[in-house]
Every structure is written in structure tokens, then in C-alpha cells.
């Protein structure tokens, strides 16, 4: 098992929480600059605690030993801290850029009288995404601060004995839900250009580490030329420069899609594009009676009951020999995998008349639509899907009513809505169900908020750059400490791209070098 200690999510679960408060982490770092913050003693976390969407006030929570430092830096409090648990109106500033970001309330909760039992701070700021992003980024640049992992606040509270075992019954489920939300979000970003960039860095960094490790473990007995290290020097240098440039780039390479991701999926000609057009009340997608009309993903931004939604219409799922359509189907499946909510559209006319048979048909249909290679046969969480039975105008009224009544009572099926995009029948009920689903999703600050992952990525990239500086600093004096720098860099990057184990490094070593002794 290996050096790369990114055991991400679980990290804090068993941490000692009564952290020593003698020495603020910035002091510690100064004894050994070049070591990335956040991998250090630090362990002070922050996150947006309120949901996103249209809201007046956003709450950002900070917890850990550096909370006081963060409060001082951000609220411009040079000397005394505010009285505990009392709201104070301050200008919130970015201490590095010396720029006022917002005016808002700050609250100071010294340990142990806080939710987590640690020193904590809350910032109540205006709810706009720009302000929230700016404050999160400013917090990330305070020494010793890092974005919280999924469920970390709750876990800290649990560890500090602030929650009883019964109160925490749902903790596993909560973490599962948050991890899922993060996984979907990561998938969304990793499938794009940004993802390819990070993967490429990770790949190059792995080779650097493998070559340094090979030099350390084998060069005394084997033919491993000194040139190997020079190559690593060059790679580290290039990587560092690329990352620094990337961090400076205000455009961040790729616009991140904001909002709850709702995807319309189903068989061809079920009326998916009609549903999109009905929902956005304009002909955003071409509709025709020809199966396979939609071949690419059609996206449109919507406001549903005040919550931002990004609605995507996808190609109908079927096996096709047409290359373009096959690519469309692949993209459709990818979207479904990344979606927060999927609307599975079914043509009523294909439903068996017997209700039991109809239910079995729908279950089978759901499976075929939603099954991915990564998660074959796993139970489908019902709150991520809606079944939309379209074209009710084509079935007799009594059959429609029977379906409506009886399908609701079948267990194992997600909520079922019967609509007709042609007559708009049932549309109002469907919108109510959709609205309540979107609202639930928006209450979770993790879903659909790219600013959070963006802040996380930035923090990890900054750590990675700092760790690479350690390699350069120790390159000639102590290769073991220099290698430690590359290990730390890979750990930081691994928090974005996935953990790298020792075996993976050994695999590269044995592929690239003939180790004989």
C-alpha cells in the first residue's frame, strides 16, 4: 500500500478532533516552505452550507484550528475576535487581493460550543454565485484551509460526540448521497477538456514518480542512467509551469455547466424532444415522426419554480448501424450517467394493457435505459428518476385512468406521470412533481454547483504546484525528500483524478526498466 495518502472521503472520519491549538498552521509551514498547505497539520475545512438556486443569503461554514485565522483574514479583524455566537456586520475581503467581496454577517463559535465541537466560523453573505465563488476562493487561499469532503462537518460533529449514535444513524446514507453527488459532478467535468488535461498531468506525474522511485530503489545495482533524473527534472518543470498558467487563467478553460442536470432519455420516438419543447415553451429541438430525429444532445437552460435547471434532450436509445446515431446514443448514455435527475419517456401506446404486465415492462425498460457499464445491475435509487408516460391522447380514457391509478401502487417504480405533449393533458401535475424533485436536489449544496468543485480543484492544484517546488528544492541535496515532493504532488492531484497506489508505480518501473538484482 502506498505512499499516496488520498483516502479522500474517509480521511477525517477518525481524526483526533481536539487539535492542538498552540501553533497556527502558517507558523508550522514557514519552518519548511514548499510543503503544500492542507496536507499539513491544518485540517481546517470550509464549505457552502446552504443550498443553491435563487436565495437571498448563502451560509459558508468553516471548522478547525485555523478558523480564527480565517475570520481575522476575511473580516479584517486585526486584534480581538467578536464575542462568541454573536452576529457582526463586516466587510468580507480577500486578504491577498485586498479586495472587498461583499458585506455580510460573521459569527464566531469557539470550541467546544459549536456544531462540530471545533473552533468554527460562519459567513452569511449574499446568495449570488459570483459572491459565493469569490468568498470560497478567498478562503481557499488562507493558509491551512481546504474545502471539506462530503459529509465532513457531520463526521467531525460525530467524532466530537456532538451527535449520538441514533442521530447519526443516517450518516452512512448521507455520505453515500453526497459522494454520489460529487461523483456525478466529477464525471461531468472529467469527461470534458478539463478532465483530459488533469488526466494527462496525472499520467505524467506518475511517470515522474516511477522514475525517481526506480532511481532510488534500483540504480545502485541496475543500469539506470543518470539521464532518467534529468528527464524528470524537465517534466516537473514543465508540469509546474503548465499548472501555474492554468491557475492564472481566469477563463478556466471550459465553461462549467451550472444548475441541476435534468436529462430526458428513452426509446426513439417516445416524444422526448416534444417534452423538451413543451417544457421550455419554444421549439428548441426538431420534432418529427421519424425515429432517430434527435442525434445529438440538445441543451437548454430553464427556470423551474425559481431553481436553475439545465435540461438536455438526448438521442433515442436503440441499436443502430448509423455511425452518427451510434455516437448520439453513446452521448445519451453518458448524460444519463452524469445526470442529477433523469426523465424516462415512454410511449403509452406500447404499454401492455394489463397493469401488472405494464409494470414489468416499465421495470425492464428502465433497466435498459439506465444501465451503464460501470454500474450494471445495481439497484436504482428511485429519487433520481421520473417515468413520463407520453402520448396519453392515443389511449382510451378509461385505460389512462386505470394506468394512472394502479401504476402508483406498484412498488419498485419511480414516480409515474402521464402526460400528453400534444394536448398538454397532465402537464400541470407533471410540473408539480418535477418542481418538488428539483427543489430537493437544490437543497443539497453539492448538486449542480460547479463553484464548489472548482474551488476544490484550485486548492488541490495549488498544493500540487507547491509540492513540485519541494522536488526542485531538494533535488540535489536529498533525493528522498525530493521524491516526497513528487509523492505529495501526486496525492494532491489524485484528489481530483483518483488515487494512485504503490503497485501502479511499481508497474511503471518494471515496464520501463529491467530490474535484475
Compute the residue count for the chain. Answer: 517
DSSP 255: P
- Shortest distance (Å) from residue 57 CB to other proteins: 31
Binding of residue 164 to other proteins (CB under 8 A): no
- Shortest distance (Å) from residue 372 CB to other proteins: 16
Binding of residue 225 to other proteins (CB under 8 A): no
Of 212 and 434, CB closest to other proteins: 212
- Shortest distance (Å) from residue 223 CB to other proteins: 6
Binding of residue 150 to other proteins (CB under 8 A): yes
- The answer to whether 85 touches 113, Cβ cutoff 8 Å, is yes
Distance CA(122)–CA(125), nearest Å, equals 9
Binding of residue 325 to other proteins (CB under 8 A): no
String of DSSP letters for 32-99: TTTSPTTSSS--EEEEE-S--SS-SEEEEEEESTTHHHHHHHHHT--SPPPPTT--EEEEEEETTTTE
The sign of the dihedral angle between the CA atoms of 143, 148, 153, 156 is: negative
Distance CA(471)–CA(483), nearest Å, equals 6
Of 469 and 481, CB closest to other proteins: 481
Region near other proteins per CB under 8 A, out of 219-227, 270-278, 297-305, 361-369: 219-227
* Ramachandran region, residue 140 (left: φ > 0; alpha: ψ -120 to 50; beta: rest): alpha
Q: What does the block give as the cell for 138? A: 478567498
In the sheet with 341-347, reading across from the earlier edge strand, the strands are 298-304, 307-313, 260-266, 341-347, 385-390, 416-418
Binding of residue 167 to other proteins (CB under 8 A): no
Distance CA(455)–CA(458), nearest Å, equals 5
Binding of residue 228 to other proteins (CB under 8 A): no
- The answer to whether 162 touches 115, Cβ cutoff 8 Å, is yes
Binding of residue 216 to other proteins (CB under 8 A): yes
Binding of residue 171 to other proteins (CB under 8 A): yes
String of DSSP letters for 289-302: SSTT---S-EEEEE
Closest CA relative to residue 453, chosen from 208, 77, 192, 148? 148
- Shortest distance (Å) from residue 97 CB to other proteins: 25
Of 10 and 85, CB closest to other proteins: 10
Contact pick of 168, 244, 256, 433 for other proteins (by CB under 8 A): 168
Largest CA distance in the chain: 84
Question: CA separation (Å) from 388 to 349, 392, 397?
Answer: 13, 10, 17
The sign of the dihedral angle between the CA atoms of 167, 173, 176, 178 is: negative
Q: What does the block give as the cell for 23? A: 501553533
Binding of residue 9 to other proteins (CB under 8 A): yes
User: Please, which of residues 40-99 interact with other proteins by CB under 8 A?
Assistant: 40-41, 43
Binding of residue 431 to other proteins (CB under 8 A): no
Region near other proteins per CB under 8 A, out of 37-45, 115-123, 268-276, 460-468: 37-45
Contact pick of 97, 130, 223, 349 for other proteins (by CB under 8 A): 223
- Shortest distance (Å) from residue 49 CB to other proteins: 20
- Shortest distance (Å) from residue 496 CB to other proteins: 17
- Shortest distance (Å) from residue 61 CB to other proteins: 20
Of 21 and 54, CB closest to other proteins: 21
Of 67 and 133, CB closest to other proteins: 67
Region near other proteins per CB under 8 A, out of 27-35, 188-196, 304-312, 457-465: 27-35
Binding of residue 3 to other proteins (CB under 8 A): yes
Of 9 and 187, CB closest to other proteins: 9
Count CA within 13 A, CB hemisphere, residue 37: 22
Of 69 and 278, CB closest to other proteins: 69
User: Please, which of residues 487-516 interact with other proteins by CB under 8 A?
Assistant: 487, 502, 505-506, 509-510, 514-516
Contact pick of 35, 279, 421, 455 for other proteins (by CB under 8 A): 35
Summarize as ranges the residues that interact with other proteins (CB under 8 A): 1-5, 7-11, 13-16, 28, 31-32, 35, 39-41, 43, 150, 155, 165, 168, 171-173, 175-176, 179, 213, 215-223, 474, 477-484, 487, 502, 505-506, 509-510, 514-517
Amino acid at each position: 500500500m502506498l505512499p499516496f495518502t488520498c483516502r479522500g472521503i474517509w480521511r477525517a472520519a477518525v481524526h483526533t478532533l481536539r487539535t492542538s491549538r498552540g501553533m497556527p498552521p502558517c507558523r508550522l509551514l514557514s519552518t519548511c516552505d514548499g510543503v503544500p498547505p492542507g496536507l499539513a497539520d491544518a485540517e481546517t475545512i470550509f464549505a457552502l452550507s446552504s443550498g443553491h438556486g435563487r436565495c437571498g443569503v448563502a451560509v459558508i461554514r468553516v471548522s478547525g484550528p485555523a478558523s480564527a485565522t480565517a475570520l481575522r483574514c476575511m473580516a479584517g479583524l486585526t486584534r480581538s475576535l467578536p464575542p462568541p455566537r454573536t452576529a457582526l456586520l463586516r466587510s468580507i475581503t480577500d486578504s491577498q487581493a485586498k479586495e472587498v467581496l461583499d458585506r455580510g454577517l460573521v459569527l464566531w463559535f469557539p470550541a467546544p460550543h459549536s456544531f462540530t465541537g471545533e473552533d468554527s466560523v460562519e459567513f452569511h453573505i449574499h446568495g449570488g454565485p459570483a459572491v459565493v465563488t469569490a468568498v470560497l476562493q478567498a478562503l481557499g487561499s488562507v493558509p491551512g484551509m481546504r474545502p471539506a469532503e462530503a459529509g465532513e462537518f457531520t463526521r467531525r460533529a460525530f467524532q466530537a460526540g456532538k451527535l449520538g449514535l441514533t442521530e447519526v444513524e443516517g450518516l452512512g446514507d448521507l455520505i453515500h448521497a453526497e459522494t454520489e453527488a460529487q461523483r456525478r459532478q466529477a464525471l461531468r467535468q472529467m469527461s470534458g477538456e478539463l478532465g483530459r488535461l488533469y488526466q494527462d498531468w496525472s499520467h505524467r506525474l506518475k511517470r515522474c514518480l516511477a522514475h525517481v522511485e526506480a532511481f532510488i530503489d534500483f540504480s545502485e545495482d541496475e543500469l539506470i542512467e543518470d539521464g532518467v533524473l534529468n528527464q524528470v527534472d524537465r517534466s516537473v518543470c514543465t508540469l509546474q509551469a503548465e499548472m501555474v498558467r492554468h491557475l492564472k487563467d481566469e477563463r478556466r478553460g471550459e465553461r462549467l455547466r451550472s444548475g441541476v442536470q435534468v436529462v430526458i432519455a428513452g426509446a426513439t420516438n417516445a416524444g422526448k424532444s416534444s417534452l423538451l419543447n413543451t417544457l421550455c415553451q419554444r421549439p428548441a429541438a426538431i420534432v418529427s415522426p421519424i425515429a432517430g430525429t434527435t442525434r445529438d444532445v440538445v441543451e437548454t437552460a430553464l427556470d423551474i419554480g425559481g431553481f436553475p435547471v439545465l435540461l438536455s434532450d438526448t438521442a433515442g436509445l436503440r441499436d443502430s448501424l448509423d455511425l452518427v446515431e451510434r455516437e448520439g446514443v453513446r452521448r445519451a448514455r453518458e448524460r444519463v450517467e452524469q445526470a442529477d435527475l433523469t426523465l424516462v419517456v415512454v410511449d403509452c401506446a406500447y404499454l401492455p394493457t394489463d397493469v401488472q404486465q405494464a409494470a414489468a415492462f416499465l421495470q425492464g425498460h428502465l433497466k435498459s435505459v439506465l444501465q451503464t457499464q460501470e454500474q450494471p445491475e445495481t439497484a436504482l435509487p428511485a429519487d433520481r428518476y421520473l417515468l413520463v408516460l407520453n402520448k396519453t391522447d392515443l389511449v382510451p380514457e378509461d385505460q389512462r385512468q386505470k394506468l394512472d391509478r394502479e401504476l402508483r401502487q406498484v412498488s419498485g417504480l419511480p414516480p409515474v406521470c402521464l402526460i400528453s405533449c400534444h394536448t398538454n393533458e397532465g402537464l400541470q401535475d407533471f410540473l408539480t412533481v418535477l418542481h418538488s424533485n428539483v427543489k430537493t436536489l437544490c437543497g443539497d449544496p453539492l448538486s449542480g454547483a460547479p463553484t464548489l468543485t472548482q474551488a476544490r480543484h484550485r486548492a488541490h492544484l495549488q498544493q500540487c504546484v507547491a509540492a513540485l517546488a519541494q522536488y526542485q528544492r531538494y533535488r540535489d541535496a536529498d533525493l528522498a525528500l525530493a521524491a516526497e515532493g513528487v509523492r505529495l504532488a501526486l496525492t494532491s492531484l489524485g484528489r481530483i483524478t483518483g488515487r494512485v497506489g504503490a503497485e501502479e508505480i511499481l508497474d511503471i518501473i518494471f515496464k520501463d526498466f529491467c530490474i535484475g538484482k
